[in-house]
Amino acid sequence: METTNTFAGVPAPLREAIVARGFEKLTSVQEAVLSSEGTGRNLRISSQTGSGKTLALGIRLANDLISTDDASTVARGAEGPRVLLITPTRELAVQVADELRWLFAKIKGVAVEVVTGGSDISRERRALNKSPAVLVGTPGRLLDHMKSRRLNCSSFRQVVLDEADQMLDMGFRDELEAILDFLPKDRCSHLVSATFPAAVKRLADRFQENPLHVEGTRLGVANADIQHVAHRIRPRELNAAIINVLLHARGERVLVFVRRRVDATELAERLSANGLSAAPFSGELNQTQRTRTLNAFKNGEQDILIATDVAARGIDVPEIDTVIHADVPADVENYTHRSGRTGRAGRKGRSVLMVPAHSQGRVRRIFSSAGVEAQWQPVPSPAQIEKRYTKTFRRDLHAILADSSLVSKKQTSYAKFLLEQPEQRDPLEILAALLQMAEPKPALQGYSIAEVSEGSGHSRDSRGSRNPRNSGPRKKGSFGAVQSFEINWGTAKGATASRILSHLCRRGNVSSSVVGAIRLGPAFSTFEISKDSSDGFEKAASRPDGRDPNLNIRRSQGNSKPDYARRPKPHRGKRHDSYGGRAAAAGAGSRG
């Protein structure tokens, strides 16, 4: 009865679905949409990720889908789609559609279809011919169907722009303007955006008339269910710090944010080289790869995802335990949007920010604007990582002891056999031996990272770690003796300095700190490896490589030169890649 009263304002068929889904109460944005003031109005919702805005929109849209004759079961006439939701990415479109499908499941005749770029357009046309009540899509593909007259827009009664700020950031302004020209004038128009800069306000004013402003979560204010942690680091120890945090979070689902596509790829490869399975998620992947990667992350097959801000707009996974910011967010909205990927649906979460010493002031301002009381902590040490492993193991052991059904008869029989041996071993010795065998040890012990004191500046950053695998790029003139190598990969086959650097680190099992100048040629490229690391690199790089079997690495032979059309400048740019390598060549700074 109490649950029924909690959802008293929700239409009956939706209320049944919400209760069955396990919801106990509405969020603030859902309550605001249900208020009497919101009935029949155009809604302009400012809401952060994880606030329940999709469910709120579903509740608002349902009134135009349910027949007044029998509000519990029947959908209104299907002369064409009645509801249109526009999202910036395919992944977000699919997830919005999935949520609306279970929400509208008790309304007979309501079908939800998705049309997005990268999908089978013939299948979409067949689906549109069936006049689904609800259509979710991305701007480009929706406009294609509108222009071809495959999509009848005259029947739309409710239209939603979701993640409006990100659609503009991704360059969809022209498509959105064109879509608005196809839509009927007598529609209800709803707009959702985490932020409202001037460009979004102009679009909103063109899209809506007399909107009701609904503030689901105040802009820039972080979720109270999230623990915020900041680690002061030296830039050259970023990789090592991320590895330690991931080892300490063993068994958790972790989303790591980076700015650029190339950063996602390179960081994933560096983590994999250190025994941590991580997948990149960015615009460099084709649609099939993106879908496969995201599904693996959702299903728990992949625990660590490295994503760009743009690509992550399509990630809606409630069970993310930890978010790691590998670089400092652009602003408070960027920080709260990233952090909002965890601590969702009433779950607790953790947001971990890597803070170079020179960025401490900026980060404190972000925390202050977001109303966050962050915990400034040292990066987890190898001892803390091992202690966490032991604690997790003992917790699991006690869970098994508390439930005898988790122990097989075979194991019980062998335990009895051990205790009945004629040697009369002390049961304590047997138990200790079994614990020694069973207790897991991290495949990687973690790195020793010196604590950076508050207020440290660039001078402390430059000291760095003496561990070559933790070290960042060396300044020109301090690299020391080098050995030259060549690889049969040049610009004619898509080689860039950044791609070669990633390949060398993975193939040769080295840190980017030991890689010197990279010179690109049409068919071959040359590069330098620190003399101290060259033998180990050569041994590792000479092994067969299943990923790139046709790429061969060898020491440069005397004065012989690869097939260069011209000799480019050495790859020693002024700017260093914060992920341990030097600044990438052309194209490396593209958006995700």
* Residues 293-316: tens digit of each pLDDT: 988 998 888 999 999 988 887 677
Strand 515-520 relative to strand 525-530, pairing: antiparallel
The answer to the question of residue 16 being in a domain is yes
> Does 430 share its domain with 285?
no
Q: For residue 194, is it within any domain?
A: yes
Which tens digits make up the pLDDT trace of 501-558? 888 988 888 877 788 888 888 888 999 998 888 998 998 898 888 778 889 999 986 5
- Whether 385 contacts 248, CB under 8 Å: yes
Mean pLDDT, residues 385-412: 80
φ/ψ of residue 193, rounded to 5: -155, 140
* Whole-Å CA distances, 428 to 418, 431, 440: 12, 5, 20
What's the confidence (pLDDT) of residue 325? 96
% of the chain residues with pLDDT over 90: 24
Residue 294: exposure state from Cβ atoms within 10 A (0-12, 13-18, ≥19)? buried
Q: For residues 87 and 193, state if they share a domain.
A: yes
Do 90 and 152 fall into the same domain? Answer: yes
Residue that terminates a domain, selected from 215, 242, 268: 215
> What's the rounded mean pLDDT across residues 255-263?
91
Co-location of 254 and 296 in the same domain: yes
Instruction: Please give the structure tokens belonging to residue 453.
Output: 């004191």
Whether the model clears a pTM of 0.85, i.e. scores above it, the answer is no
When pLDDT is averaged across residues 580-592 and rounded to a whole number, the result is 36
Q: Are 296 and 302 in contact (CB under 8 A)?
A: yes
Asked if residue 505 and residue 414 are part of one domain, the reply reads no
Q: Which of 438, 458, 480 is where one domain is finished?
A: 438
Q: What is the mean pLDDT of the chain?
A: 79
**Residue 460 included in any domain:** no
Q: Are residues 115 and 6 in the same domain?
A: yes
Domain-located, residue 243: yes
Question: Do residue 366 and residue 392 come from a single domain?
Answer: no
Instruction: Tell me what the mean pLDDT of segment 248-269 comes to.
Output: 90
Contacts of 263 (CB under 8 A, 6+ apart): 306, 308, 326, 327, 577, 578, 579
Average pLDDT over residues 61-84: 65
| 363, 381, 399 - which closes a domain | 381
What sign does the CA torsion over 50, 52, 54, 55 have? positive
Among 40-49, 435-444, 449-458, 460-469, the range scoring the smallest mean pLDDT is: 460-469
What was the pLDDT predicted at 419? 80
| Cα distance between residue 207 and residue 44, in whole Å | 10
Same-domain status, 122 and 101: yes
**Whole-number Å distance between alpha carbons of 293 and 350:** 23
Residue 489 and residue 519 share a domain: yes
- Count the domains in the chain: 4
pLDDT of res. 561: 43
Contact 133, 82 (CB under 8 A): yes
The CATH code of the domain that includes 131 is 3.40.50.300
> Is residue 8 pLDDT above 90, yes or no?
no
Q: What is the mean pLDDT of residues 357-368?
A: 90
Tell whether 177 is covered by a domain: yes
CATH number, residue 510: 3.30.70
Show the domain range for 531. Answer: 472-586
**pLDDT tier for residue 226 given thresholds of 50, 70 and 90:** confident
- How confident is the model at residue 1, as a pLDDT? 37
For the CA atoms of 434, 437, 442, 447, what is the dihedral angle to 10 degrees?
100
Return the percentage of the chain with pLDDT > 70, whole number: 82
pLDDT in tens, 96-146: 999 999 999 888 889 999 999 888 899 999 999 988 999 999 999 999 999
What token pair was written down for 130? Answer: 């069936």
257-266, 290-299, 359-368, 565-574: the lowest-pLDDT one: 565-574
The predicted-structure confidence for 166-223, as pLDDT tens digits, reads as follows: 788 778 888 999 999 999 988 999 998 877 778 888 888 889 988 888 876 655 555 6
Q: Give pLDDT, residue 134.
A: 94
pLDDT at 242 over 90: yes
CA distance 47 to 55: 12
Q: Positive or negative CA dihedral for 134, 139, 141, 142? A: positive
- Chain-centroid distance of CA 474 in Å reads 30
* Mean pLDDT computed over 87-97: 88
Together in a domain, 94 and 184? yes
Q: Tokens in use for 252?
A: 């958790």
Give the integer Cα–Cα distance in Å for 506 and 504: 5
Q: At residue 346, does pLDDT exceed 60?
A: yes
- Which one is predicted more confidently, 391 or 62? 62
Helices (H) and strands (E) in the chain, counts: 21, 18
- Name which of 326, 309, 333, 314 is nearest 261 in CA terms: 309
Is 221 within a domain? no
Residues in contact with 320: Cβ distance below 8 Å, sequence separation at least 6, in sequence order: 253, 254, 255, 341, 342, 344, 349
Task: Say if residue 375 is in the same domain as residue 422.
Answer: no
Same domain for 375 and 389, yes or no, is: no
Residue 461 within a domain: no
